Amino acid sequence: MEKFSTKDIVYKYKFKFSKNLGQNFLIDDSVLEDIICAADISNGDLVIEIGPGVGTLTRELLNRANKVCAIELDSGLIPILQEELKDFPNFELIHGDALKTDFNKLIGDYSEVKFVANLPYYVTTPIISKILTEDYKFKSLTIMIQKEVGERIAAKPDCKQYGALSILVQYYCDVSVIRKVTPDAFIPSPKVDSIVIKLDRLSEPKIVLKDKKLFFKIVRLAFNMRRKTLWNALKPLKISKVDMELAFERSSIDPRRRGETLSIKEFGKLSDSIHELL
């Protein structure tokens, strides 16, 4: 099968990039190879790709996977993808918004799915949250995202990048940083640096919780005003002073600490102690 470069396809179809859709297409083969290698695709795998663009990454995935479902929002790209990838019987193209897609319909009878994407940066966090929290049978997410967001995802306590997003992702997944990527790896070049990360789903979430909703509420409150002590940050929970003192005591956490110093396990202990008093 003849293979054209990203630039060839863009010129061939006179494609006009849309800034609003986060269209920065990959032109660096070494980044492509690193994404493919990290994604670790084998011939029984189902892959879901979000935002295939002109199909640069898609083609490499199709060469390795059992099936690739790609979801693309831009109607201008649909005929290009249909034409360029028409020789792959294992390709399913969905014209739609990944944020509104029920991935279970695509997963069907497959036991699990691997997500791979050079994500449109304007929807990175909502897409990751959707995949993690909607209980899909995913094995991994190998994604290229804005470097700053990747650093927040991988951050550990006591650094300024550590926050609610770090905890959400690390509760469900092991995070590996694959490589950094400079703007010249794309057309057009974005204004920011990028990073490739891999999220491997843990067989069980990192901690056992009595009340997951309460845990994430506490995490959100703790980071909403990150300079506040936990004692002050958790006031919106409207729990009596006596009960709050007891919860901090039972979880052995000093209420004068700030949320950014707590590990996921410590947030879990605090949340369980508060849950017991409700």
Nearer to ligand SAM, 97 or 254 (CB): 97
Nearer to ligand SAM, 9 or 164 (CB): 9
Nearer to ligand SAM, 74 or 266 (CB): 74
- CA-nearest of 107, 110, 63, 101 to 85 is 63
What CA–CA distance (Å, rounded) separates 119 from 224? 26
Nearer to ligand SAM, 189 or 252 (CB): 189
Q: Is 90 annotated as a binding residue?
A: no
| Residue 249 phi, psi (nearest 5) | -65, -45
At closest approach, how far in Å is the CB of 49 from ligand SAM?
A: 7
Q: Is 102 annotated as a binding residue?
A: no
Q: Is 230 annotated as a binding residue?
A: no
At closest approach, how far in Å is the CB of 164 from ligand SAM?
A: 22
Q: Is 99 annotated as a binding residue?
A: no
What CA–CA distance (Å, rounded) separates 275 from 132? 23
Taking the CA atoms of 223, 229, 230 and 233 in sequence, report the sign of the dihedral they define. Answer: negative
What CA–CA distance (Å, rounded) separates 248 from 261? 15
Nearest residue to ligand SAM, scored by beta-carbon proximity: 51
Taking the CA atoms of 103, 106, 112 and 113 in sequence, report the sign of the dihedral they define. Answer: negative
At closest approach, how far in Å is the CB of 27 from ligand SAM?
A: 8
How many angstroms separate the Cα of 144 from the Cα of each of 50, 119, 163, 212, 234? 11, 6, 20, 28, 34
Q: Is 118 annotated as a binding residue?
A: yes
In terms of DSSP bridges, do strands 46-50 and 67-72 run parallel, antiparallel, or are they unpaired?
parallel
At closest approach, how far in Å is the CB of 44 from ligand SAM?
A: 23
Residues that bind ligand SAM (CB under 6 A): 6, 21-26, 50-53, 56-57, 71-74, 77, 97-99, 118, 120, 123
* Whether residue 236 has a cis bond before it, omega within 30° of 0: no
Nearer to ligand SAM, 24 or 140 (CB): 24
At closest approach, how far in Å is the CB of 94 from ligand SAM?
A: 9
Q: Is 211 annotated as a binding residue?
A: no
- The DSSP call for residue 258 is B
The binding site for S-adenosyl-L-methionine consists of 24, 26, 51, 72, 97, 118
Binding residues: 24, 26, 51, 72, 97, 118
